[in-house]
Amino acid sequence: MTTLSAPYLVRHDPGVRPTMKDVATAAGVALKTVSRVVNGEPGVHPATAERVRAAIDRLGYSRNESARVLRRGRTATIGLVIEDVADPFYSGLSRAVEDVVIGHDCLLLTGSSGEKPVRERELVETFCTRRVDGLIVVPAGDDHTYLRPELEAGTKVVFADRPPGAGLDVDTVLADNAGGAEQAIRHLLGHGHHRIAFLGDDPAIYTAAERHRGYREALGGLYDPRLVSMRPPTLEGVRADLDRMFALDRPPTALFTGNGRYTVTTLRALAGRPIALVGFDDFELSDLLQPGVTVVAQDPSWMGRVAAELLFRRLRGDVGPPEHIQLPVRLIPRGSGELP
Amino acid sequence: MTTLSAPYLVRHDPGVRPTMKDVATAAGVALKTVSRVVNGEPGVHPATAERVRAAIDRLGYSRNESARVLRRGRTATIGLVIEDVADPFYSGLSRAVEDVVIGHDCLLLTGSSGEKPVRERELVETFCTRRVDGLIVVPAGDDHTYLRPELEAGTKVVFADRPPGAGLDVDTVLADNAGGAEQAIRHLLGHGHHRIAFLGDDPAIYTAAERHRGYREALGGLYDPRLVSMRPPTLEGVRADLDRMFALDRPPTALFTGNGRYTVTTLRALAGRPIALVGFDDFELSDLLQPGVTVVAQDPSWMGRVAAELLFRRLRGDVGPPEHIQLPVRLIPRGSGELP
DNA sequence: ATGAAAGCGCTAACAT
DNA sequence: ATGTTAGCGCTTTCAT
């Protein structure tokens, strides 16, 4: 006897997956019974369920989620658009979002926009095409009218870290950017500094603009545009701007850096030259540098968690007016901000 | 006239999305024609295509990917299982994978296992249920027999950073962990050290075990188990182990730390006590500390890129025997490893 | 150049 | 406790 036809020896062609129907045939039951077992629905005799489960294992069956989603409408999927997973701020935020999403038995789709509005939109549209139930977006662009059809179709959207462009009133979770900058500047003023430079991202980026606003307001009459540099944080660029500022008649005696990446780049550009410095965003090892780096710390995990929980509240049916949550930041003195 | 019935004023009920059929009706064509336009298939009169596109915009239509996938079989989706997105090594790897995946017009699903085998398996199974075309896995567990049905169904799998458990011969992309550790130890030996401690993760983690193996082999007769600590990198734990080692008759004069997280924790536990140190993994600011931290650097982006490209090669139909790619590492002297 | 019909694998609604 | 049927929105195949 060379032909083995016992069901447990059946080998499927690569690429051909068993379906519920195959399982049903193998177990000698109707398709619906398999469905019941797979979904843990009641009303199946234990012995029958056991037979079905055996068939599932034997065939290596796994449910086709696309078919399920098509039928049910709900995907149990959330989309997250951030700027860059490789940036510690966003990877921390991502992890927190992932944890909340997992806790709701959902899947998370994540994508990096790389600060490109086109890519942001592509990601959102890709996610919508996959019918995510909700979206958390750290926007790169400032026109979000393309989201309208999605919102009308019932997709819930929460913006995090930065607000949407004009004309879209949805939930937001933002940090107190301006307030944090003011705190930083008042701290430096309190330590006797009057010439405080600002080094930050392009003002097109909301957080950079807000932090600059806080800086400017806290400085009042001391504000001097020659002490402001707003551009992408390249080492060469920062170095050039520092050189320019240090060559002024009245050079800066303190620096305020507009985000974590900027702080690190600035420290590198300073190459050990001691100068008072406060940075926006905490970062790993800020405490181990000499001197420790004084920062205005945000909590990326907190932001992620709050945004995700707000989103799930909406998905549960909360239809109140859009919420605008502002998360506080806090100044952590470590030495660099207390230099004379 | 109060009833506006112009098609462009139609508002859909929330949650009710227009389908191809709706677009077809609105444009006065058959469903198949809409499909042709949406997919850029030829054989549609330009004027007709224009009408269809107008209807698409008017209705805010977006294709339902689940239906498409169900019909076509292919999802154009890749799954990535890592240990933790918030770890810079894995977020760097993720970003590289994402870039390659995007370049192939695919979607990436990412999940963190948190070093838990159960969660690793859940993630893989969730991804398979969504019918990913391929998987890149940084395994947390050492039993991957559960992957068999997926492999048989044609899902391509590449393991990265760590190999699969026994009995599964699939593509792997690993770093030269043992070789890197040997380099580190020889470097320290060359600087006159004979008592070199190893601080690393639990040996159940492949990379930790390999690095310990390299450490041990490079030390030869100088190996002393009392100078070895392998456990999760908590500050208290590392501190306790360091205290224990420093209290020995012949305490260590140099440390080798088994990964980036360990290096940072150890530096914190040392609290400025100067001692020769080489760490596995490079990390941000390693150059700005005093002294700079000598490391054996891997390139997480490179690993991600290589793994993703290998995966797409398989998806393109390359059916050669499993490949086992080893990526070199390199020692970067920065000061801490050159202390006497 | 355009369309009609079948069916992907599943779940919901309704029998039995 | 179990089965039958219809249909989710799309692509495929085969007309016209």
Cβ-Cβ contacts under 8 Å, A129 against chain B: 62-65
Q: Where are the alpha helices (DSSP H) in B44-176?
A: 46-59, 65-72, 88-103, 117-129, 148-152
In whole angstroms, what is the distance from residue A258 CA to residue A172 CA? 21
Distance A55 CA to D3 C1' (A): 19
Alpha carbon separation from B234 to A89, B13, B53, B286 (Å, rounded): 22, 53, 58, 20
pLDDT for residue B272: 82
Q: What is the CATH number of the domain that holds B47?
A: 1.10.260.40
Shared domain for A219 and A257, answered yes or no, is yes
Contact residues for B243 (Cβ-Cβ < 8 A; gap 6+): none
Helix (H, G, I), strand (E, B) or coil at B122: helix
Measured CA to CA in angstroms, residue A277 lies from A270, A290, B266 at distances of 11, 12, 26
Q: Are B255 and B231 in contact (CB under 8 A)?
A: no
Percent of residues, chain A, with pLDDT higher than 70: 96
Instruction: Tell me how many residue pairs between chain A and chain B have CB atoms under 8 A apart.
Output: 148
State the pLDDT at residue B339.
Answer: 79
Preceding amide of B203 cis, omega within 30: no
Tell me what pLDDT residue A14 has: 54
User: Do A257 and A306 belong to one domain?
Assistant: no
| Set of chain A residues whose Cβ sits within 8 Å of the Cβ of B304 | none
Instruction: State whether B131 and A66 contact (CB < 8 Å).
Output: yes
Last residue of a domain, one of A38, A59, A80: A59
Q: Is residue A80 within 8 Å of A94, Cβ to Cβ?
A: yes
Say whether both A184 and A144 belong to one domain.
no
Q: Is A98 helix (H, G, I), strand (E, B) or coil?
A: helix
pLDDT for the residue numbered A2: 29
Q: Do B60 and A153 touch (CB under 8 A)?
A: yes
Rounded CA-CA distance A234/A261 in Å is 10
First vs last Cα of chain A: how many Å apart?
A: 93
User: What local confidence, expressed as pLDDT, does residue B15 receive?
Assistant: 60
Q: Considering the domain boundaries, does residue B43 fall inside one?
A: yes
Please list the helix, strand and coil fractions of chain B in percent, rounded to the nearest 5, in that order: 45, 15, 40
Which protein residues have their Cβ less than 7 angstroms from some atom of strand C?
A: A 17, 19-21, 31-32, 35, 38-39, 63-64, 67-68, 70-72; B 29-33, 36, 42-45, 48-49, 67, 70-71
CA distance between the termini of chain B: 92
- Arithmetic mean of pLDDT, B312-331: 95
Please list every residue in chain B whose beta carbon sits closer than 8 Å to the beta carbon of residue A235. none
Query: Residue A1: inside a domain, yes or no?
Result: no
Contact A65 B129 (CB under 8 A): yes
Cβ-based contacts of A69 with chain B (< 8 Å): 66
Domain end among A25, A41, A59: A59
Listed residue (B172, B191, B22, B162) closest to B90, CA to CA: B162
Distance CA B317, CA A298 (A): 47
Cβ-in-10-Å burial (0-12, 13-18, 19+) of A79 comes to: buried
Contact B58, B28 (CB under 8 A): no
Region B163-173: mean pLDDT is 95
Domain edge (last residue) among B59, B74, B92: B59
Half-sphere exposure of B269 (CA within 13 A, CB side): 23
What residue in A sits closest to B84 (Cα-Cα)? A95
For residue B16, the model assigns a pLDDT of 80
How many angstroms from the chain centroid is the CA of residue B249? 43
Residue at B1 is within a domain: no
Mean pLDDT of B219-228: 96
A287, closest residue in chain B (CA to CA): B268
Asked if B106 and B243 sit in the same domain, the reply is no
**Minimal Cα distance from A63: which residue of B?**
B129
CA distance B299 to B302: 5
Amino acid A338 reads E
Q: Alpha carbon A212 to chain centroid distance?
A: 23
* 8 A C-beta contact, residue B246 and residue B274: no
Which residue is closest to D7 in terms of CA–C1' distance?
A71
Facing residue for A285 by CB, picked from B67, B152, B264: B264
Q: Is B271 helix (H, G, I), strand (E, B) or coil?
A: coil
Q: Residue B117: which CATH number? A: 3.40.50.2300
**Which residue is associated with the tokens 């009920």?**
B13
CA distance linking residue B230 with residue B214, whole number of Å: 14
d(CA B217, CA B279): 17
The predicted model gives B67-91 an average pLDDT of 95
| Gyration radius (Cα) of chain A, Å | 27
Contact B95 A88 (CB under 8 A): no
| Segment B257-271 mean pLDDT | 94
Q: If you ran DSSP here, which 8-state letter would residue B139 be given?
A: -
pLDDT of residue A11: 34
Note whether B279 and B231 are same-domain residues: yes
Q: How confident is the model at residue B298 (pLDDT cuts 50, 70, 90)?
A: very high
Per the prediction, chain B carries an average pLDDT of 92
Q: What is the DSSP letter of B292?
A: B
Q: Are residues A159 and A236 in the same domain?
A: no
* Protein CA at A33 to nucleotide C1' at C15, angstroms: 15
**Distance between CA B209 and CA B243 in Å, rounded?**
23
Tokens of A140: 């790169």
Q: Is residue A231 part of a domain?
A: yes
Q: Do B268 and A288 touch (CB under 8 A)?
A: yes
Are A156 and A196 within one domain? no
Residue B1 has pLDDT above 60, yes or no: no
- 8 A C-beta contact, residue A209 and residue A258: no
**Backbone phi, psi, residue A197, to 5°:** -90, 155
Q: CB count, 10 Å around CB of B204?
A: 12
**Residue A2 maps to a domain:** no
A190 and A211 share one domain: yes
Q: Closest by alpha carbon to A295, among A253, A332, A252, A258?
A: A332
Whole-Å CA distances, A137 to A131, B58, B78: 15, 25, 22
Residue with tokens 């909406």: A314
Residues linked to residue A82 through DSSP beta bridges, in sequence order: A112
Range of the domain at A200: 177-298+331-338
* Per-residue model confidence (pLDDT) at position A3: 29
Query: What pLDDT score does A339 carry?
Result: 78
How high is the pLDDT of residue A21?
Answer: 94
Chain A contact set for B63 (CB, 8 A): 129
How many separate domains does chain B show?
3
CA nearest B176: which of B49, B296, B72, B84?
Answer: B296
Is A202 contained in some domain? Answer: yes
Classify burial at A93, counting beta carbons within 10 Å of its beta carbon; exposed 0-12, middle 13-18, buried 19 or more. Answer: buried
Say if residues B78 and B252 touch (Cβ distance below 8 Å). Answer: no
| Chain A nearest C-alpha distance from B87 (Å) | 8
- If asked whether residues A149 and A285 sit together in one domain, one would say no
Residue A235: half-sphere exposure toward Cβ, Cα within 13 Å: 6
Structural domain contains residue A103: yes
Q: Tell me, yes or no, whether B307 and B171 share the same domain.
A: yes
pLDDT higher than threshold 70 for residue B102? yes
State the pLDDT at residue A74. Answer: 87
Beta-ladder partners of A112: A82
Q: Which residue is nearest to nucleotide C7 (CA to C1')?
A: B71
Rounded distance between C-alpha atoms, residue A101 and residue A81, angstroms = 14
pLDDT value for B145: 93
The pLDDT confidence band at residue B14, using thresholds 50, 70 and 90, is: low
Q: Write out the H or E segment, with its range, that includes residue A65.
A: helix A65-72
DSSP tag of A9 = G
Q: Per residue in B172-202, pLDDT tens?
A: 999 999 999 999 999 999 999 999 999 999 9
CA of A163 to C1' of D13 (A): 48
Query: Count of CB atoms within 10 A of residue A119's CB?
Result: 18
Q: Which of B88, B152, B284 sits opposite A60 (nearest CB)?
A: B152
Establish if B190 belongs to a structural domain.
yes
Residue A15 confidence (pLDDT):
61
Confidence label for B130 from pLDDT (cuts 50, 70 and 90): very high
**Cβ B337 vs Cβ B186: under 8 Å:** no
Instruction: Report pLDDT for A43.
Output: 86
Structure tokens at A210: 């807000």
Q: Where are the beta strands (DSSP E) in A87-160?
A: 107-112, 134-137, 156-160
Is the domain of B166 the same as that of B307? yes
Is the pLDDT reported for residue B280 higher than 90?
A: yes
> Tokens 């993994």 appear where?
B281
Residue B254 predicted with pLDDT over 60:
yes
Those residues of chain A that have pLDDT short of 70 are 1-15
Same domain, B52 and B132: no
